């Protein structure tokens, strides 16, 4: 006898990992066999492979190859040998019908699953161990309940482009000829696409025919990963959290598969869920073999879907969109009072409203089977809407705050209720009120273009925005110098350190006692205490101000307090000295034994009452000041000071 489809075994190891899959063509499969006859120690079987796959996939599908190994190798946990491989050709292809349901739903799914059935007669020798047949390939199209395992990654070719996904393996077993001389596995009958609507009851019956009349018990099982050629072992794919063999669709309460193949329950989530099962064959009450079947449960949101709400603040036109199935028929009522012909039967209509206002829109959807439902949405039509605008005040200068003010005009009579200010360089929100103060951390070449956008939404839902550029210029700095005490009759040039550069303007106020109030360093003289304010500005309006106090006293002289209290209360804790009209000052303090205990040449550094860090006791100390007066004559002053604790 000539046996068909036999060839030497070829083992390939494909080391490719794909962590994220897109698409995938397979929705399940099953390998089964039927005993034909026996010739001595040769057994003839009809081997059947059923593949369930997406009708519209663009993925390639070569002729499937079923591998056969010795079942004993698996039980002994040794590397099995692939004895034969069978190339399956010339499939019978049919499109699976949808499973029946007892309720009316508007948005039935429009997907398509095909069943490809391959058959081939194979001749096998007598075996005391039995044989295992498997088919492994990529890629699954239903991973709603299974983990995307990197070790189960594979590829399929889609329009000659490799696309990654999750692989799968279908398995069946021929038992030992010593235990069961003649056997055929259960064959699937009347398969259809299992689909359910979320929140609706599902009742689906898997049907199997056993040619030997054996009893068939169905039990849930895990799906298998791809077969690794280095081990030829079968490993389950782990379920995602919340899913198990007994609850493959993750429902609460769970959808269950009973021993008779009845899959039932009410799904509470949408998705494509892998469903695997084991068919146990019992003959005379004894388990003689098991077979496997992989399938898929598809759960959809079949409710009528609400059209998008319309808010148009530009004109009177409204375009209506939704996600209901295109095969349905539609009837729209656009909700204009006292108008009867404001209707349409177009799937996605466009309507010109005759007036402004808020309208209740009604959509009625009817599917090809006659199931109908209605849903309402709104259309807010306010042409003119918002005319968004803003202005600003303050100096557009580095490190200076800007006051940003909303100047939006509402033509439709609505009121602004939300404001969002953004700095467009980094899309950062900088404020959410009608007026905000903002200082930009400018860096880079000046002038710096600061791009701002104001988005305004009204109480009617109108929303619009406007963007403007504000040029930020380099700032200027005014420094009027330190406060000074001058002797009456001395002239003094103010020594501030203000910004310099071309086209800067300086102004001192009041001009009293100044030789020129419009230069950076004017000379001051007089005999009355006065405070001057310096203003520095550039040609683009950046400005700054600073003040200085000028006091006049008799001099040249050194003024020293007669007592101080270094007790840490923040009042009179330091003995200071104030030279008036004195240059090159040298200020010393001596104790009662004539020992110098303090020296300073800087009037800003006085004595804190300590010697080598130790606060001195209450007592009288002698001070001495030596210097040169502004008139060029030497100055020597002495006195006493009382330290009080």
Q: Which of 154, 159, 187 is nearest to 169 (CA)?
A: 154
d(CA 343, CA 346): 9
Give 100-112 pLDDT, tens digit per residue: 888 889 998 878 9
CATH value at residue 620: 2.60.40
Give 194-243 pLDDT, tens digit per residue: 989 999 999 999 999 999 999 999 999 999 999 876 667 889 999 999 99
pLDDT of 12 over the 50 cut: no
Q: Which domain holds residue 510?
A: 484-553
At residue 265, the pLDDT reads 93
Residues 108 and 302 sit within 8 Å (Cβ to Cβ): yes
Length of the chain: 645
d(CA 510, CA 533): 7
| Domain co-membership, 263 together with 411 | no
CA distance readout (Å), 525 to 517, 550, 551, 558, 603: 13, 9, 10, 20, 22
294 lies in a domain?
A: yes
Q: Which of 465, 447, 448 is nearest to 456 (CA)?
A: 465
212 lies in a domain?
A: yes
DSSP secondary structure, 429-478, as one string: EEE-SSEEEE-----SSSSEEEEEEEEEEETT--EEEEEEEEEEBPP---
| Domain co-membership, 79 together with 153 | yes
CATH value at residue 365: 2.60.40.10
| Domain co-membership, 496 together with 610 | no
- Region 149-170: mean pLDDT is 91
pLDDT over 70, % of the chain: 94
- Residue with token string 């305004």: 456
pLDDT of 612 over the 70 cut: yes
User: Which residues does 114 contact at the CB level (< 8 Å), separation at least 6?
Assistant: 52, 53, 54, 55, 93, 94, 95, 96
Last residue of a domain, one of 354, 381, 408: 381
Give 564-588 pLDDT, tens digit per residue: 999 988 899 999 998 888 888 999 9
Residue 20: burial class (beta carbons within 10 Å; 0-12, 13-18, 19+): exposed
At residue 13, the pLDDT reads 28
Q: Which of 349, 339, 344 is nearest to 317 (CA)?
A: 349
pLDDT of 264 over the 80 cut: yes
At residue 79, the pLDDT reads 57
In DSSP terms, 153 is beta-bridged to 166
| Domain co-membership, 395 together with 363 | no
| Domain co-membership, 572 together with 445 | no
Strands 286-300 vs 194-197: parallel, antiparallel or unpaired: parallel
At residue 33, the pLDDT reads 97
| Domain co-membership, 157 together with 78 | yes
Mean pLDDT across the chain: 89
| Domain co-membership, 106 together with 216 | yes
d(CA 318, CA 196): 35
| Domain co-membership, 262 together with 157 | yes
| Domain co-membership, 162 together with 290 | yes
- Region 52-73: mean pLDDT is 88
Residues 119 and 111 sit within 8 Å (Cβ to Cβ): no
Residues 363 and 332 sit within 8 Å (Cβ to Cβ): yes
Phi, psi at 474, each rounded to 5°: -65, 135
| Domain co-membership, 251 together with 368 | no
- Region 11-32: mean pLDDT is 59
Residues 67 and 171 sit within 8 Å (Cβ to Cβ): no
Neighbour count for residue 563 (Cβ, 10 Å): 12
pLDDT of 253 over the 50 cut: yes
Residues 373 and 106 sit within 8 Å (Cβ to Cβ): yes
4 lies in a domain?
A: no
- The domain total for the chain is 5
End-to-end CA distance of the chain: 126
Last residue of a domain, one of 300, 332, 361: 300
Last residue of a domain, one of 250, 278, 300: 300
d(CA 331, CA 352): 17
* Three-state SS at 273: strand
606 lies in a domain?
A: yes
In DSSP terms, 209 is beta-bridged to 187
- Residue with token string 């439709």: 412
170 lies in a domain?
A: yes
Give 500-554 pLDDT, tens digit per residue: 888 899 999 999 999 999 999 999 988 889 999 999 999 888 999 999 999 887 8
| Domain co-membership, 519 together with 561 | no
What DSSP element (H or E) covers 547? strand 543-553
| Domain co-membership, 393 together with 437 | yes
607 lies in a domain?
A: yes
150 lies in a domain?
A: yes
At residue 488, the pLDDT reads 83
d(CA 574, CA 568): 10
d(CA 321, CA 377): 11
272 lies in a domain?
A: yes
- Region 471-480: mean pLDDT is 92
Segments of 26-130 assigned E as strands? 26-39, 42-54, 65-70, 82-87, 92-95, 113-125
At residue 23, the pLDDT reads 63
CA distance readout (Å), 44 to 129, 178, 187, 214, 470: 17, 16, 17, 20, 87
């Amino acid at each position: 006898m000539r046996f068909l489809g036999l060839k030497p075994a070829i083992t390939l190891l494909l080391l490719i990992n794909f962590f994220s899959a897109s698409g995938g063509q397979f929705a399940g499969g099953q390998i089964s066999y039927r005993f034909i006859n026996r010739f001595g120690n040769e057994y003839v079987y009809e081997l059947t492979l059923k593949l369930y796959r997406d009708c519209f996939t663009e993925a390639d599908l070569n002729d499937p190859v079923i591998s056969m190994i010795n079942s004993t190798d698996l039980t002994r946990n040794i590397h099995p040998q692939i004895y034969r491989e069978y190339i399956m050709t010339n499939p019978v292809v049919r499109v699976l019908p949808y499973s029946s349901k007892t309720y009316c739903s508007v948005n039935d799914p429009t997907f398509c699953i095909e069943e490809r059935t391959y058959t081939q007669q194979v001749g096998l020798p007598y075996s005391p161990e039995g044989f295992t047949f498997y088919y492994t390939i990529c890629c699954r199209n239903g991973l709603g309940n299974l983990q995307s395992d990197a070790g189960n990654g594979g590829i399929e070719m889609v329009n000659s482009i490799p696309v990654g996904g999750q692989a799968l393996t279908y398995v069946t077993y021929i038992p030992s000829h010593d235990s069961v001389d003649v056997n055929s596995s259960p064959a699937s009958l009347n398969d259809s696409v299992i689909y359910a609507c979320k929140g609706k009851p599902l009742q689906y019956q898997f049907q199997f025919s056993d040619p030997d009349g054996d009893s068939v018990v169905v039990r849930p099982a895990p799906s298998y990963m791809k077969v690794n050629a280095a081990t030829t072992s079968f490993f389950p794919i782990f379920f995602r959290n919340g899913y198990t063999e007994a609850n493959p669709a993750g429902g609460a309460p769970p959808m269950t598969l009973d021993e008779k193949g009845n899959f039932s329950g009410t799904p509470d989530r949408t998705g494509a869920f892998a469903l695997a099962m084991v068919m146990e064959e019992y003959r005379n009450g004894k388990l003689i073999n098991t077979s496997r079947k992989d399938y898929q449960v598809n759960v959809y949101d079949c409710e009528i879907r609400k059209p998008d709400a319309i808010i148009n603040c530009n004109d009177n036109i409204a375009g209506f969109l939704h996600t209901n199935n295109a095969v349905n028929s539609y009837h729209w009522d656009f909700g204009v009072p006292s108008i009867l012909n404001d209707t349409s039967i177009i799937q996605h209509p466009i309507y010109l409203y005759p007036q402004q206002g808020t309208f209740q829109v009604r959509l009625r959807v009817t599917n090809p089977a006659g199931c109908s439902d209605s849903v309402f949405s709104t259309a807010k039509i306010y042409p003119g809407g918002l005319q968004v605008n803003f202005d600003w005040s303050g100096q557009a200068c580095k490190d200076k705050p800007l006051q940003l003010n909303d100047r939006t005009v509402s033509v439709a009579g609505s009121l602004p209720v939300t404001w969002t200010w953004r700095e467009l360089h980094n899309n950062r929100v900088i404020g959410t009120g009608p007026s905000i103060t903002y200082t930009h951390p400018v860096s880079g070449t000046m002038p710096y273009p600061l791009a701002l956008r104001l988005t305004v939404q009204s109480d009617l839902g109108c929303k619009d925005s406007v963007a403007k550029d504000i040029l930020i210029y380099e700032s200027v700095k005014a420094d009027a110098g330190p406060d000074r005490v001058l002797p009456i009759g001395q002239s003094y040039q103010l020594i501030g350190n203000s910004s310099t550069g071309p086209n800067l303007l300086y102004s001192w106020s009041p001009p009293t006692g100044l030789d020129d109030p419009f230069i950076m360093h004017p000379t001051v003289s007089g005999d009355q205490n006065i405070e001057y304010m310096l203003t520095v500005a550039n040609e683009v309006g950046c400005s700054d101000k600073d003040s200085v106090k000028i006091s006049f006293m008799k001099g040249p002289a050194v003024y020293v307090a007669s007592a101080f209290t270094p007790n840490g209360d923040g009042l009179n804790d330091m003995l200071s000295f104030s030279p008036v009209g004195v240059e090159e000052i040298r200020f010393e303090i001596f104790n009662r034994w004539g020992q110098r205990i303090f020296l300073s040449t800087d009037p800003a550094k006085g004595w804190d009452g300590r010697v080598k860090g130790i606060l001195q006791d209450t007592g009288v100390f002698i001070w001495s000041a030596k210097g040169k007066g502004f008139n060029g004559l030497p100055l020597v002053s002495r006195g006493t000071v009382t330290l009080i604790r």
